[in-house]
Chains A and B, each alone.
Chain A
Amino acid sequence: MSKISVVPYGPQHPVLPEPVHLDLVLQDEKIVSAIPSIGFIHRGLEKLVEKRDYKEMVFVAERICGICSFGHGMGYCEAVENVMKVEVPDRAKYLRTIFQEMSRLHSHTLWLGLAADAFGYESLFMQTWRIREKILDMLEMATGGRVIFSIVDVGGLRKDVPDEMLAEFAKRLKDLREDYNRITAAFLEDDAVKSRLCGVGVLTIEQANDLGCCGPFLRASGVRRDSRMTDYEAYAKLDFEPVVSHDGDSYARCVVRIKEIYQSIDLIEQAIAQIPAGDVCTPVKGMPDGEYLARVEQPRGEALYYVKGNGTKNLERFRVRTPTFANIPGLVEVLKGQDFADVGTLILTIDPCISCTER
């Protein structure tokens, strides 16, 4: 006779990079249902609009997360710029695109390392993060920061990146492509890796749509939706198509992220080739009065930034809907029917970012 038990999973667990809790209802070793709960690292950053003016809030927005920090700052600025009808110079739009794609590169690389570590492949973890260091070095060279760059501002960027440095980036990206060719083969072709990922945690295209999923988690189920196809920053001037896979399993999520790594390198190269000369910041006058909902395709999926101003220096409301928050119902669904031993890997396949989620 099978036995029903409830196992608390997290918030502290070796495979979880950040604290999230799941109550797993098990029938023997199979998961029947999972109930998520969060709130271990809620900081109330959105509430700070009452104390910080709309320009200072750029720094707060960047601190929502330590991985996609640039994207949060950019999304916030996009929203405020649209409220204030500020036209950002083209050069700044291209540079923002470059920084955002470099953020995606290091984020996806970080995920590959964490995934390798989760299924017990520690040398692959080490090799993957070695490559990530090279991207962080480039970001440090351009901005002075490795995690939080503080370069984005309402109206553009705080400083320019010289053309010589961009040429150096293009050269380094060629070497990076070689590095990725070496490590990604292990993720895509190694039998041990495939045995942990193939056919595990399948999310169908209907489920992915109904559950409001986003990002690589959504696209791995065959939905061709990527916010970069909208007209923010310089994406409309770059040639690319969303990366899609159709199997919907953990392996498909891994494949989508790996293909997006190459896509990001390609987008950065295109942006460097096209970037125009000129200013990187438009002076901003007045106070925000109005509302706007900006969308940014972060490494983990679509993030929404709602800003509402009332004509004073302090915003009335700043709200961020992060991709992990949207992906939690999808995670709960993929866990059903899976082996208890796969829970760690399955949580990682949505690439959760809890500090984003809780803000």
Chain B
Amino acid sequence: MRQPIRAGEMMICEIDPDTLLDEVTKLKYSEWRLMQICATKTGEDSYEVLYTFGHGYRLRSIRLKISGEAKLSSITSIYPIAYLYENEMHDLFGIEIDMINIDFKGGLFRTGVKAPFK
């Protein structure tokens, strides 16, 4: 019988928003692939953003906390495919993202209410 691989060990590293690009660059050079970006509303005007990466079947996540007014740096200069996740985060939560490579400017999700998850 083959050896099973552990599925969902969640290794989360809390980081400062200012170090986001440095941390993501390190992961990119270590050949981790971007799997998802997830925003969660944690307070009236605060959010946490979880970036999940995969290497083979292993998972690793980094998390940062931001306020509603803050502008988050886009990671599309490192992982170009992040544009979908970042536009989704902007359209659903209203989080402002700086320098997305393909910025739909609120037009990725055609929601009746602006930023419905805000």
* A72 to B: closest C-beta gap in Å: 15
Contacts of B36 in A (CB 8 A): 304, 306, 319, 321
**Closest A residue to B7 using CB positions:** A230
Partner of B102, one of A35, A38, A227, A321: A35
Q: Indicate whether A266 reaches chain B with its CB closer than 8 angstroms.
A: no
Which size bracket describes the interface of A in this complex? 35 or more
**A:102-127 near B, CB below 8 Å:** none
**B:31-51 near A, CB below 8 Å:** 33-36, 38, 40-42, 50
Q: A319-B38, A358-B109 are in contact. Are A306 and B4 (CB under 8 A)?
A: no
What per-residue 1/0 map shows which CB atoms of B75-118 lie under 8 Å from chain A? 00001110010000001000000000010100111110000110
Number of residues on chain B facing chain A (CB within 8 A): 36
- Are A325 and B84 within 8 A (Cβ)? yes
- State the main secondary structure of chain B at its contact with A: loop
The docked-state distance in angstroms from the alpha carbon of A358 to that of B111 is 11
* A100 to B: closest C-beta gap in Å: 14
- Are A294 and B7 within 8 A (Cβ)? yes
Q: Indicate whether A262 reaches chain B with its CB closer than 8 angstroms.
A: no
Partner of B7, one of A40, A231, A306: A231
Tally inter-chain residue pairs, CB-CB below 8 A.
99
Contacts of B104 in A (CB 8 A): 37
The docked-state distance in angstroms from the alpha carbon of A44 to that of B91 is 12
Partner of B8, one of A47, A82, A358: A82
- Are B116 and A47 within 8 A (Cβ)? yes
**Closest B residue to A325 using CB positions:** B84
Task: Determine, out of A63-71, A170-178, A232-240, the stretch whose residues face the partner at the interface.
Answer: A232-240
Q: A306-B38, A328-B84 are in contact. Are A37 and B7 (CB under 8 A)?
A: no
Partner of B57, one of A229, A292, A293, A308: A229
Most chain B CB atoms below 10 A, which of A35, A42, A325: A42
The docked-state distance in angstroms from the alpha carbon of A316 to that of B117 is 12
* B101 to A: closest C-beta gap in Å: 11
What per-residue 1/0 map shows which CB atoms of B1-36 lie under 8 Å from chain A? 110111110100000000000000000000001111
A interface list, Cβ under 8 A from B: 35, 37-40, 42, 44, 46-47, 78-79, 82, 209-212, 225, 227, 229-232, 235-237, 239, 291-295, 304, 306, 308, 316-317, 319, 321, 325-326, 328-329, 358
Further pairs besides A212-B33, A306-B50: 7, Cβ < 8 Å: A35-B102, A42-B110, A44-B111, A293-B8, A304-B52, A319-B40, A329-B84
Provide a sorted-by-A list of 26 A–B residue pairs whose CB atoms are within 8 angstroms: A39-B108, A44-B111, A44-B116, A47-B117, A78-B8, A82-B8, A210-B33, A212-B34, A212-B35, A212-B79, A212-B81, A225-B56, A230-B4, A230-B57, A231-B7, A232-B7, A293-B8, A293-B10, A295-B7, A295-B8, A304-B36, A306-B36, A316-B42, A317-B41, A319-B40, A328-B84
